[in-house]
Structure 1
């Protein structure tokens, strides 16, 4: 879990007498007044190059009198952090920059800059580093959020041969150590007894499954303090099992632990911010593979709750990983239960890769997360837990099937399956996400992505900081 290395300490740089390059961030509405304030040579140059302050556009200006370079970032009409993500690799490599535009939110700029600076470099080190931005007071939360997303992206991007169930569980332990939380790993016979569906999913792999559990309590908390419970699908590689995916369908299946990465990142943000809550994180770490021991279509599995599930499709394993975790989490009666998973292709068909699906039995919590997503530019879209489709999960020989009897509403029926393991009185949020950027955008480089975490954190922060 590497540190954020694209920032530098402004005070130390000044004390060392280093030349700092000046960075302006200008919206389209402010471009005219900005041009009027520039010295004539720079104004003429910028006008001649046709700079219009389009979002994420960058222009280098002629050197200032002291030898320092100046650059302008266009914000367009974009009020998010995203335009700042163009800077780390749009400015000259390994140069140091100070944002000098009055009124710009430093936390917004820092978050966008850090997210844009991310690259997965464990296996192919970069020949040169990104530009660096001065770290100023008041951006601590933005840096913590960026660090958690870097952590999650690294986990998703890591190849499956380097990140199996053992390594993912170990990452939860490392996260716990960073924040002085407790951690436990359940495996072997104990896992088979307590999480039988996770054991069933993992039987086909030589890399045995594990459940990693992190527990943390915020400053000044007691047993009466609200409990937040997080559950993450950590399928380190998904072959589909006997219902084998085509080769094209397997190409990104190292990202099938994206839900676990998201819940780990959310846990990191909660702990870094010291929210006044108790926290439990459960990650089901498993590989869905094919062997003589793997579960078969039409097998029947008894879950932790005692309910039986007929396996209509071995490639619908994520809900099996989550159902035992949810059942255990509900026993502790958390004030809010959240799970996240790269669960269905149907959610991507409905909403595309950039918009995770949200299902919830709580209108207040759902509304809070949707509103928070809009505020922090980390959107989610609510889909219904439509009760009319619940019967599609019926089985003639078990309490339920793990897939519906037809090909419709796959994301909804998957959520309805999980709902069967959540009590009616339990506040519950289920996130069906993609966890990947198909192409690079400012602040969102191609590869693994940690979605919905900032929206969930903002909703939690608004709720619990206001009652602290």
Structure 2
């Protein structure tokens, strides 16, 4: 995952990376040797953010790397291009970076994410692979960056694994590996036991697959600590059910468990940082398939909350499995309840792929998530739980429908559906996200992506950290 990163003591005589703020480039340039000034001019280098230049030393060697940056929320991406852009060799951050705590954390995080790669299914020729290694410091800033990077890396890895190797059982196994690493307790309710334990909506959606549905439940931390509960949609593959998706819309449906990947990545960050909370993670893990056992349009489903739901569309399955999980989560009245889900195309139409939609019943929680998201360039944008739209979920045959009869406001409608089941949670937020990069940018390769969990981690650390 991050095999381009090594500890600083394992590197000898690395090339130093010095960072120059865009606004200070002219002053810095005036202090350089005549030879370096001539070299910089000959290469037309002007120190713009995210651009770099190798400065020559004796005998044609590389003496240093100069990187332009801007000190803002996007700083980490200025550093993220280096792992793929630099020539083979050993590198390390210069003292001007490592001595600045905030800049060091952003730089190290950028280097980690910039070299992330998912090559589980590709054979690589080690003899021709470019060897670029970064020796990172062992200070607290670098440790914080590593924690965040590994949480993001976990989320990306889980999403990138195809559905043939990431079904409900494999997702449970990933949660159990994480639990074992940090001493968390992980249990699961599988198959027919879901009906016996009153999780009927999860069972109804998942029973159409040969791979048993389940509810994965992780607990960590002191039972007397503030309760933080994370719920992640774990639809390991979504055909749409009998309301079958077009084949082109199925191509990315391995990522429909992206919400579960987010909460496991976020849980990893929380446990690594040893934030004194009572953490609970709930993942309804299913496949939405077509078979003789699959649920149908117009079926009326029972839910854990006792609310009956008419199925207006079997492709609106995520909200159904989340309904049971949110009901269970709300019974404990946690201090904070967050759910992450690749829930609606409507949210992507409204806000695009890189800006998750945020819904919340708590202004303080919503404002904290948005403010941290903007500060960290891990953004989300709040949409309303608009009361006037609630009747759009009415059903003549059941307590409610799982969809609206209108093509408009789909992300809000889905959030209002979930709001019925999160009722009782005093501080709840729902994040509707893409969990995927369609194209590559520095530090953000094409494929699975973590969205919103850096912002959520910062908020939780600030509120409940030591």
- State the TM-score bracket (shorter-chain normalisation): over 0.9
The match for 2:367 is 367
1:47 pairs with one of 32, 41, 46: 41
Counterpart secondary structure, 1:101? helix
The Cα shift of 1:39 comes to 2.2
The match for 1:176 is 179
Native 8 Å contact 1:390 1:416 kept in 2: yes
The match for 1:30 is 24
The match for 2:210 is 206
What are the within-5 Å matches in structure 2 for residues 210-221 of structure 1? 210-217=214-221, 221=222
The match for 1:116 is 114
The match for 1:227 is 227
Is 2:3 aligned against 1:5? yes
Distance 2:305 2:240 in 1: 25
Native 8 Å contact 1:348 1:434 kept in 2: yes
Native 8 Å contact 1:111 1:146 kept in 2: yes
Distance 1:44 1:207 in 2: 65
The match for 2:135 is 134
The Cα shift of 1:241 comes to 0.5
Q: Deviations over 1:159-208 (max 9, x none)?
A: 11111111011100011011111111210222233321111111211111
The Cα shift of 1:371 comes to 0.8
The Cα shift of 1:89 comes to 0.6
The Cα shift of 1:331 comes to 1.1
Distance 1:134 1:316 in 2: 47
Q: Deviations over 1:338-367 (max 9, x none)?
A: 100000000000000010010000001111
Native 8 Å contact 1:19 1:68 kept in 2: no
What are the within-5 Å matches in structure 2 for residues 39-188 of structure 1? 39-64=33-58, 67-76=61-70, 78-80=72-74, 81-93=76-88, 95-102=90-97, 104=100, 105-127=103-125, 128=129, 131-136=132-137, 137-138=139-140, 139-188=142-191
- Alpha carbon RMSD of aligned pairs, Å? 1.7
Between 101-110 and 413-422, the greater mean CA deviation after superposition = 101-110
The Cα shift of 1:130 comes to 5.7
Native 8 Å contact 2:360 2:385 kept in 1: yes
The Cα shift of 1:5 comes to 2.4
Distance 1:178 1:48 in 2: 52
The Cα shift of 1:438 comes to 1.1
Distance 1:347 1:99 in 2: 42
Counterpart secondary structure, 1:228? strand
The match for 2:339 is 339
Between 326-335 and 39-48, the greater mean CA deviation after superposition = 39-48
Distance 2:456 2:271 in 1: 14
Distance 1:275 1:298 in 2: 45
Native 8 Å contact 1:360 1:429 kept in 2: yes
Distance 1:350 1:66 in 2: 52
Native 8 Å contact 1:83 1:443 kept in 2: no
Distance 1:409 1:239 in 2: 23
Native 8 Å contact 2:17 2:91 kept in 1: no
Native 8 Å contact 2:333 2:424 kept in 1: no
Native 8 Å contact 2:192 2:203 kept in 1: no
The match for 1:460 is 460
Between 115-124 and 19-28, the greater mean CA deviation after superposition = 19-28
The match for 1:297 is 297
Q: Deviations over 1:100-153 (max 9, x none)?
A: 435552111000110111011111144425622222112111101100111110
Counterpart secondary structure, 2:421? coil
What are the within-5 Å matches in structure 2 for residues 316-355 of structure 1? 316-355=316-355
Q: Deviations over 1:225-281 (max 9, x none)?
A: 210011000111111011011111111111101110001111111111111110000
**Judging changes above 3 Å, is the alpha-carbon distance between structure 1 residues 33 and 404 closer, same or farther for their aligned structure 2 residues?**
same
Structure 2 residue runs of 5 or longer lacking an equivalent are none
Q: Deviations over 1:269-296 (max 9, x none)?
A: 1111111110000111111111111111
Between 41-50 and 261-270, the greater mean CA deviation after superposition = 41-50
Distance 1:162 1:222 in 2: 34
Counterpart secondary structure, 1:183? strand
Native 8 Å contact 1:337 1:428 kept in 2: yes
Distance 2:243 2:18 in 1: 54
The Cα shift of 1:99 comes to 3.0
Between 322-331 and 133-142, the greater mean CA deviation after superposition = 133-142
Distance 1:423 1:96 in 2: 52
Counterpart secondary structure, 2:81? helix
**Judging changes above 3 Å, is the alpha-carbon distance between structure 1 residues 149 and 316 closer, same or farther for their aligned structure 2 residues?**
same
Distance 1:288 1:166 in 2: 15
